[in-house]
Structure 1
Amino acid sequence: MTEEKSTKEYGVKAWIPLIVGLSIGLGVIIGTHLRTPSVDNKRMTVDSNASKFERLLNYVDKYYVDSVDVDQLTQKAIDHILDDLDPHTVYVPPSEADIMASRLDDGFEGVGIEFRVIDDTLKVVSLMPGGPSVKTGIRAGDKIITVNGDTIAGQNFSNSQIVKKLRGKKGTKVEVGIKRRSEAELLSFSITRDKVPTPSVESSYMIDEATGYIKISRFATKTYDEFHNALLNLKSDGMENLVLDLRDNGGGFLGQAVKIADDLLPKDDLIVYTEGKGNEFSEKEYSIRPADFTGPIVVLVNERSASASEIVTGALQDHDRAVVVGRRTYGKGLVQRQIRLKDNSLLRLTISRYFTPSGRSIQKPYGDGISYNNDINERYESGELFFKDSIKLDEMPQFKTDNNRIVYGGGGIIPDNFVPLDTTSLGIYYYTLEHTDLLRDFALNYANDHYINLQEHGLAHFIDNFESDTSLITQLEKFSEMNGVFRKSKHHNPEQIDEELVHRIKVTIARALWGDEGYYQVLNTKDPMVKEAKKIIQQGVATETKDLKVKG
């Protein structure tokens, strides 16, 4: 045995995992799961190759000299194959598939709390409305020490391990031991698990006497039903103008986006069209009935508004039906189909591109040399999130709206009114409290200490009167000093910092006690995009540009 021969054998051996992996991946994806009967020559070729890959895998598994982890090799091979496709075609292994699939469900079975692990202790941040923990009497700020008699505090459990302990089938019970402020002993609660609703319309309320606000966090299985009900309720409350908040909404089901646009556009308006391979995935979606709301609309978007959010925004902008406010959206114009494979894994396969009514593809560039997933950081570094002029419009194709306004494709939707990212400097004390979670802890402690009084007076009273407690900043400073954070020097604008600290405390308490509904009602009182939307409505800029009632 010579060294040359040994080196050659090693070289061949080094290539075997990649060759086998590619073979397995192609066989699994193309041959086994996407095969449909056909006499077409191309299909026959795919079937023949799939059979070849299957035989190759069998030979490797049976005869290869070293042991091979087939599952791991398959995962690597599939990832390698999909790397050459678009960024949104992905394979999800069986261990993660159910979690991925459930992200667009309307609920889950469990106890219904949101928590954070702080200093190895689980702290309840908020309770999910309609969930079993609310009915049991658990409060935001409570610390869960034991679950079914097992101590979880100080055990360094991961979030997924804690979720596994708390979630379970509807009707089953879980016993928890809770440490509550001002209580010397652990409190015992028996929670009967139930279906916990996770609405995608997180908030809907009247900002003022004439303006309604609807926040959609994602496009899930029941988003349209939730949106439609919210729309009807706001109309009954006297809504004449609508602020539709799609910020940080990463998308979801295209069909839900189409239905929502249908509620806001006149009959027979084109909403979106898709182009795929052949005719199977090429479709045009139109509004099929008169609009349910005909008043002025302002849509709020940012750099994390993607996919289905961009479908709704693009349709309303192209038809001059709404004023778009915020920052350039993410730029995802590809449509995926979710395919469940035989081993319970998932393939999210891009099947088509979508286009807004004016013909825009808003998909941002991807491919070799493009840092696709780092795009938002690059926008930050280039100054685009702070200055609209930083967007390179000369590199984007132009299109026309119904009223001949110029809009752009090739990389997200550019808003009509730009609102920059807030860069206000609030000093080291504020940011230390934020990033050490001390500000959240103080707010949750306050909510727990004043729980009964706050609940009795309700959200509206809280919004109007919370700032009347003039001792808040003094209490906060004492709390932070007890935890080793001192306000050593005054910032050049201490009044502004104190005002922002009180606001953040108020927002956190609102979410802890009243969920998303309370959170957004408090948050929006100082939100710059909401302020811009109200200004646009007051100035008449968002006044409808079509006679919807005639066209409908």
Structure 2
Amino acid sequence: MTHDSTNSKNVDIKAWLPLIVGVSIGIGVLVGSHLRAPDPSTNRLMVDKNATKFERLLNYVDQYYVDSVDINVLTQEAIDHVLKDLDPHTVYVPADEADIMASRLDDGFEGVGIEFRVIEDTLKVLSVMPGGPSKKIGIRAGDKIIVVNGDTIAGKELDNASIVKKLRGKKGTKVDIEIKRKKKEELIAFTITRDVVPTPSVEAHYMIDEETGYIKISKFATKTYDEFHNALLFLKSEGMENLVIDLRNNGGGFLGQAVKIADDLLPKDDLIVYTEGKGNEFTEKEFSKRNPDFEGPIAILVNERSASASEIVTGALQDHDRAVVIGRRTYGKGLVQRQIRLKDNSLLRLTISRYFTPSGRSIQKPYGEGISYGDDISNRYESGELFNKDSIKTDKMPQFKTDKNRIVYGGGGIIPDNFIPLDTASMGIYYYTLEHTDVLRDFAIEYANDRYIDLMENGLDHFIKDFDKQKNVIQDLEDFAVLMGINKRKPNINDTTININLKHRIKELIAQTIWGDEGYYKVANLKDPMVNEAQKVFDEGLAEDDTTSKSKS
């Protein structure tokens, strides 16, 4: 009986072991090593006690546990288990992923400077990054990399991590590649000297018309303010009187960069943002420190993927009635994270405070038990919110007032002043098939490469005016799609509209292939409904109209 009882206890211990170790690791490693409470009393004693408990427990498991245990795997699972009960933005990043995660907000990296995708076991260059070494030696979008440093990689199962490892490297080191270029029978050899590849966060800035400047910000990285400020000064020198700031799909970044940009646009001593954390260390207020560098009308473009630092800028300018916000409700991330390097080079992104807009709004959307936080955007799609502003349940949101007593809402993203619905009806299933199989991009790349010299010599402005005159583009696309295995499309009563929009999409992709992001946005914005709305707003003297209502009238 004693033997049977012992076996039963062993089984119970084995079943509970991961949870016991998990809690101990989570508390001991994360809390014990890095998150000591500033008050050296009860909390600190508890931290030390649990850190010691974890160390002893882990040693016992390593020395005596009956089965083999991978301590690293168990640690990862334990940490994930502890953090899942915190907010959705507090995350642990393993050491082998930490450098890539941290570099996402850098303004450059050391490598060859291409964007790629693996298609049918072949590495295909989607775009060549301006200012990078691949661009300088003549690598083109559409090239297929077959050999890297003598190793044939085509036809092998490749993942992105292994490709990045082969191509990235320290500045000054070399990598030999052989590429297959369409209409060339032999492979073409290149030696690329790795260099710093700039990844600017201000992707484009130019004058939309004689009075209106446009600045696209894709993230808030270490030099975003400098890039924005330089763009602002340039556009002012070009005669800018109105400014469009495009923050669509900008997931945020460094809070300090957002504060500096708002400081460029708000009057001196205006509150920009305030944060509340545990104790005084992370509780502070940020005010504009000087007079604005630009005093003209501003429109900010946002959508459901504009988050965090994007919402700080947007909320500050909306609360002070400094800008008209155009687009769709923003993501709703009102939590501030600090990146903490652990001893093994892993990374903890820990939420340290909540931020609030000048009117007092917390724009953090709800999270917690029973809330499918990660499905929020798809839920907005299903509810109709992305198509109709009236689908936003503002009756359940706390109300605040701007400087001019306009009502704004907290509790889940920033609601725009002028709503622009998501457009899904103008293209149809044929377009989406071409887009999601990369056939549309492949056609644009081939079109650009076949005319590469002429396009480069004539320039972007000539291309923008001339491309619409080309009559056979859609027919050529359909023939190309058939060769790529896409069935010929069936006639549709909306074919004329679809063809116009399809041709414009091809124009965007060609411009991006040859002239990068600047070319892309110059073409895309010609028919962008949010940009067009911004221009209307300026013409009307910053009127606050709902374009959904306009379209129904």
TM-score (norm 2): 0.96
Cα deviation digits, residues 378-422 of structure 1 (max 9, x gap): 111011011100000010000000000000000000000000000
The answer (yes or no) to whether the contact 1:181–1:449 under 8 Å persists in 2 is no
The answer (yes or no) to whether the contact 1:296–1:542 under 8 Å persists in 2 is no
Confirm whether residue 126 of structure 1 aligns to residue 122 of structure 2: no
The corresponding residue for 1:74 is: 75
The corresponding residue for 1:547 is: none
Confirm whether residue 9 of structure 1 aligns to residue 7 of structure 2: no
The corresponding residue for 1:426 is: 427
Mean Cα deviation higher: 482-491 or 308-317: 482-491
Alignment of 1:165-180 (within 5 A): 165-180=166-181
Which amino acid in the other structure matches residue 439 of structure 1?
L
Which amino acid in the other structure matches residue 156 of structure 1?
E
Confirm whether residue 457 of structure 1 aligns to residue 443 of structure 2: no
Alignment of 1:468-507 (within 5 A): 468-507=469-508
Rounded to whole Å, the distance in 1 between the matches of 2:38 and 2:206 is 53
The corresponding residue for 1:324 is: 325
Q: How far apart are residue 119 of structure 1 and its match?
A: 2.2
Rounded to whole Å, the distance in 2 between the matches of 1:493 and 1:35 is 64
The answer (yes or no) to whether the contact 2:427–2:502 under 8 Å persists in 1 is no
Cα deviation digits, residues 108-150 of structure 1 (max 9, x gap): 0011111222222222221111000111011122221111121
Mean Cα deviation higher: 60-69 or 124-133: 60-69
Cα deviation digits, residues 187-243 of structure 1 (max 9, x gap): 111111000000001111111110000000110000000000000000001110000
Rounded to whole Å, the distance in 1 between the matches of 2:427 and 2:138 is 37
Rounded to whole Å, the distance in 1 between the matches of 2:347 and 2:401 is 39
Distance 1:489 1:67, change over 3 A: closer
The corresponding residue for 1:53 is: 54
Runs of 4+ in 1 over 4 A off after TM superposition: 1-5
Rounded to whole Å, the distance in 1 between the matches of 2:320 and 2:417 is 13
Alignment of 1:11-26 (within 5 A): 11-26=12-27
Which amino acid in the other structure matches residue 276 of structure 1?
G
Rounded to whole Å, the distance in 1 between the matches of 2:479 and 2:341 is 55
Cα deviation digits, residues 316-356 of structure 1 (max 9, x gap): 00000000000000101011111001010111111111000
The answer (yes or no) to whether the contact 2:89–2:349 under 8 Å persists in 1 is yes
The corresponding residue for 1:334 is: 335
The corresponding residue for 2:270 is: 269
RMSD: 1.5
The corresponding residue for 2:186 is: 185
Rounded to whole Å, the distance in 1 between the matches of 2:410 and 2:332 is 9
Unaligned stretches of 5+ residues in structure 1: 544-552
Unaligned stretches of 5+ residues in structure 2: 545-553
Distance 1:351 1:37, change over 3 A: closer
Cα deviation digits, residues 416-455 of structure 1 (max 9, x gap): 0000000214333322222221111111111111000000
Which amino acid in the other structure matches residue 272 of structure 1?
V
The answer (yes or no) to whether the contact 2:124–2:142 under 8 Å persists in 1 is yes
Mean Cα deviation higher: 325-334 or 21-30: 21-30
Which amino acid in the other structure matches residue 495 of structure 2?
P
The corresponding residue for 1:229 is: 230
Confirm whether residue 259 of structure 1 aligns to residue 260 of structure 2: yes
State the SS of the aligned residue for 1:208. Answer: coil
Q: How far apart are residue 64 of structure 1 and its match?
A: 2.1
Alignment of 1:354-365 (within 5 A): 354-365=355-366
Rounded to whole Å, the distance in 2 between the matches of 1:542 and 1:219 is 29
State the SS of the aligned residue for 2:280. Answer: strand
Give aligned-pair identity as a percent.
74
Distance 1:525 1:313, change over 3 A: same
The corresponding residue for 1:294 is: 295
Q: How far apart are residue 4 of structure 1 and its match?
A: 5.8
Higher RCO structure (Cα 8 Å, ≥6 apart): 1
Cα deviation digits, residues 167-195 of structure 1 (max 9, x gap): 11110111111111222211111111000
Rounded to whole Å, the distance in 2 between the matches of 1:247 and 1:37 is 39
State the SS of the aligned residue for 2:501. Answer: helix
Cα deviation digits, residues 41-74 of structure 1 (max 9, x gap): 3212322222222222222222222222111111
Rounded to whole Å, the distance in 2 between the matches of 1:454 and 1:13 is 68
Q: How far apart are residue 36 of structure 1 and its match?
A: 7.2
Which amino acid in the other structure matches residue 16 of structure 2?
W
Confirm whether residue 140 of structure 1 aligns to residue 141 of structure 2: yes
Distance 1:44 1:485, change over 3 A: closer
Rounded to whole Å, the distance in 1 between the matches of 2:41 and 2:543 is 54
Which amino acid in the other structure matches residue 402 of structure 1?
D
Which amino acid in the other structure matches residue 56 of structure 1?
L
Cα deviation digits, residues 146-168 of structure 1 (max 9, x gap): 11121122212112211211111
The answer (yes or no) to whether the contact 1:218–1:251 under 8 Å persists in 2 is yes
The corresponding residue for 1:532 is: 533
State the SS of the aligned residue for 1:252. Answer: coil
Rounded to whole Å, the distance in 1 between the matches of 2:324 and 2:37 is 46
The corresponding residue for 2:352 is: 351
Which amino acid in the other structure matches residue 228 of structure 2?
F
TM-score (norm 1): 0.96
Q: How far apart are residue 259 of structure 1 and its match?
A: 0.1
Which amino acid in the other structure matches residue 229 of structure 1?
N
Rounded to whole Å, the distance in 2 between the matches of 1:65 and 1:401 is 65
